[in-house]
Amino acid sequence: MNKVHNFSAGPGILPAEVLKQASEACINFDNMNLSLLEISHRSKNYEKVMDEARSIVKELFEVGDEYEVLYLGGGASMQFAMIPYNLLRENGTAAYVNTGVWASKAIKEAKMIGNTNVIASSEDKKFTYIPKGYDIPKDADYLHITSNNTIYGTQLKQFPKSPIPLVCDMSSDIFSRKINAKDFDVIYAGAQKNMGPAGSTMIMVKKDALGKTGRKMLSMLDYQVHIKGGSMYNTPPVFPIYVSLLTLQWLKKNGGIAWIEKINQQKADLLYNEIDRNALFFGTVEKEDRSNMNVCFLLHKQELEAEFDKLWKEANISGIRGHRDVGGYRASLYNALPLESVQVLVDVMKEFEKKFA
């Protein structure tokens, strides 16, 4: 079978060994002669999965017992509502930085919960840069940021020094680079871009940030209820959590975040250098804010698009069509994508230049 080079923006590529382990668990999980898909989530065999899936996040992020880790359903979009519901006081204010579609959706949900201020935005230039130098209100309940913007291809290279609790949506670059996780009160991420399949969202929350809103909480939306229930207050998304665990085990086994950060930088440098060198392509965002996860680029001559499409498809490249809001091309360089695949794409771009420049 010919190798497919999978640049999909999400659900994204997973390590081959993880897919193999996950498929075997669908037939015979933990030598039980039962499928993972048909056993009780309350069984000791699955409780071990949940316990390790939660603990390995704290291990990779190098944080202690002051944090709790949850795996919940509803996608990261559910967290757009759960964040203000759990952190925004009834008479308080939340601060948001708007850097793209998902940040905009988070702001929309927060405004339904309580007072919400957008303190910085890059919407004026169609989200092609990351705002900098903005003032953070010290009297706000929290500051919400998005670390990587999948659709537009921008990424925070430095996180703000926040005098208030810092909340970050890391859905598309979680575990791709070293960060000081202790600077954040909440980190959350949909699993399907960089740490697992669709169907589960990981939330790491500092315990002392909770219980201060003054509102009566609906059980299913209350982080403290889910923490007390060991992330199993209700039936969890069993299979996505298991595959996320396998993916994080793969990351840890190979050298952890420091290991993958070096590879991710190599992948990004290889592709961006070709975009900048090649006469037929150009990047779509400010160079200093370019994402190492989602590389967005366009053709100078759109009439050649069909010819380029033909070449990359012949090379077994998949998933590089740009988002409908941006157009052009987007190559997602998630952790499991090998450097070899990026080289194949670069070789196609060079061949395209020889034919049409």
Q: Please tell me whether residue 142 adopts helix, strand or coil conformation.
A: strand
Residue 96, H or E segment: strand 93-98
Q: What is the DSSP string of 51-78?
A: HHHHHHHHHHHT--TTEEEEEESSHHHH
- CB-CB contact of 335 with 175 (8 Å): yes
From 102, 141, 185, 250, active-site residue:
102
Helix axes 75-87, 101-113, angle to 10 degrees: 40
The span from the first CA to the last CA of the chain, in angstroms, equals 33
What is the rounded CA–CA span in Å between residue 194 and residue 55?
18
Helix axes 256-277, 238-254, angle to 10 degrees: 90
Nearest to residue 172, comparing CAs of 334, 320, 331? 334
Whether 169 is a known active-site residue: answer yes
From 141, 169, 173, 185, active-site residue:
169
Whether 193 is a known active-site residue: answer yes
Q: Please tell me whether residue 283 adopts helix, strand or coil conformation.
A: strand
State the maximum Cα–Cα separation within the chain, in Å, rounded to a whole number: 65
The count of residues in the chain is 357
From 141, 173, 193, 206, active-site residue:
193
- CB-CB contact of 2 with 316 (8 Å): yes
Helix axes 44-61, 238-254, angle to 10 degrees: 50
CA angle 314/317/321 to nearest 5° reads 110
Residue 272, H or E segment: helix 256-277
Q: Backbone phi, then psi, for 249, in 5-degree steps?
A: -65, -40
Burial class of residue 264, CB neighbours in 10 A (0-12, 13-18, 19+): buried
Q: Backbone phi, then psi, for 201, in 5-degree steps?
A: -125, 130
- Beta pairing partners, 188: 169, 203
The set of catalytic residues is 102, 169, 193
